[in-house]
Amino acid sequence: MQTLITFLLILGFVSPCLCVRWSVRTQNKTYNVKDYGAHGDGKADDSGAFLSAWKDTCGSYQTPTLVIPPNGVFLLKGITLSGPCIATSVNIQLQGSIVAPVKNEWLKVLGMKDPIQDPNQDLTDERFNLILISNVSSLSVDGSGGGSINGYGSTWWDCRNCERPTILRFKFCNDLTVSNLNITNSPKAHIRMNSCENATFSNISIHSPGDRPNTDGIDILASKNILIQDSTMQCGDDCIAISGGSSHINATGIACGPGHGISIGSLGRNKAYDTVEEVYVKNCTFTNTENGARIKTVPGGSGYVRNIIFENITVVQAQNPIIIDQYYESRKPMNGALNVSDVIFRGFSGSSAKENAINLNCSSSGCFDIVLDHIDIVSSPPGKPACCSCNNAHGTATDTVPYCSLLS
């Protein structure tokens, strides 16, 4: 009996401690970059503070949140947020503004020369991204509350053929959610994902001048099960570019323009084997874009593009509203081309800035099972009706204006 009483007394003293420890261990934890020394004045380099805060965030046992607070401008000079993390899910709350350094400051950090002076140097360093997030699963990045990133690309754009940095890159990130972000003026691509699975991007706003080179909105490479929705993209290249190794890509509710439209490709460059399949683009608008719905492959490549649907698309003075170009980057005949098949263009309406509203320019091996259905595109130039150009394309055209008589 005495033993039992002693045990109960000990348990009474210990239990509150256990409860406190359990509470601490299971509560969500926040890590504010300002608590790690970030200045947020737009002048001092806050890279070190971000990396220290990320180290604790990624190492937390709880469901941690890395906080970039409002009313701050945080200068970064190329950081990598690496996983895998201990927590099963991680949040990044971007409420303030992140800015990139000008070109010369960025290159100084990397120990590089100006690409104009030395175009042959190796620029593959992973720090050649403003923010690279790698090997982090179940990550949520939320810019609610005014979160923004400015890439200050104007200091890079004069060198049109130079390699230039990407602003936000995800690599080997699965079960990813990115929402409510405002990204402007990237030196090159605004967002890029490599080898990611199960990602959703929503309410993304991307803005850069329409004449700036290679400033893609979102690049998708070797990734699958990707959803991009309800977003606005104004840029100097593809609003969305879907590259080799990608499948099950959905884009819906995208307002693109200026830009080069939503493109599959380019594929097959340098005689590569590339594949893209199961792409669904729906309820999108292309305004004053160079292209609308585009598939582009390079002669000499191999592989396939198949099971593609562009549906319910509005074009406003797009130069090439519907285009398949299997001679991208080269007009010379070459052996080999990607197989393009099972492509549906359905429910297009609006205007073309050129007479040639539909351009199906396939290789000598042909494109097959191409469907044009309920297309109504008129030519913007007065007195010049829209037309269709067809080369080695095989399929059907139903209720299509302009009519494609050569689509066999």
Reply yes or no on whether 260 is catalytic: yes
Tokens representing 137? 């699963």
3-state secondary structure of 118: coil
Question: Residues 303, 268: contact at Cβ < 8 Å?
Answer: yes
Q: What is the CA radius of gyration of the chain?
A: 25
DSSP state of 97: E
DSSP E strands: which ranges in 16-165? 30-32, 41-45, 65-68, 73-75, 79-82, 90-94, 97-99, 129-134, 139-142, 148-150
Residue with tokens 């080898």: 195
Half-sphere exposure for 390 (CA within 13 Å, toward CB): 20
DSSP state of 361: E
For the CA atoms of 375, 376, 381, 382, the dihedral, rounded to the nearest 10 degrees, stands at 150
Among candidate residues 190, 207, 260, 374, the one labeled active-site is 260
Q: Minimal CA–CA distance to 52: which of 75, 81, 78, 25?
A: 81
Angle value at C-alpha 167, between 161 and 169, nearest 5 degrees: 105
Question: Residues 61, 29: contact at Cβ < 8 Å?
Answer: no
d(CA 299, CA 217): 25
340 to 228, 275, 309, 369: CA distances (angstroms): 23, 10, 13, 9
Question: Which residues, 6 or more positions from 273, have their beta carbon under 8 angstroms from its beta carbon?
Answer: 244, 301, 302, 303
Q: Which residues are catalytic?
A: 260
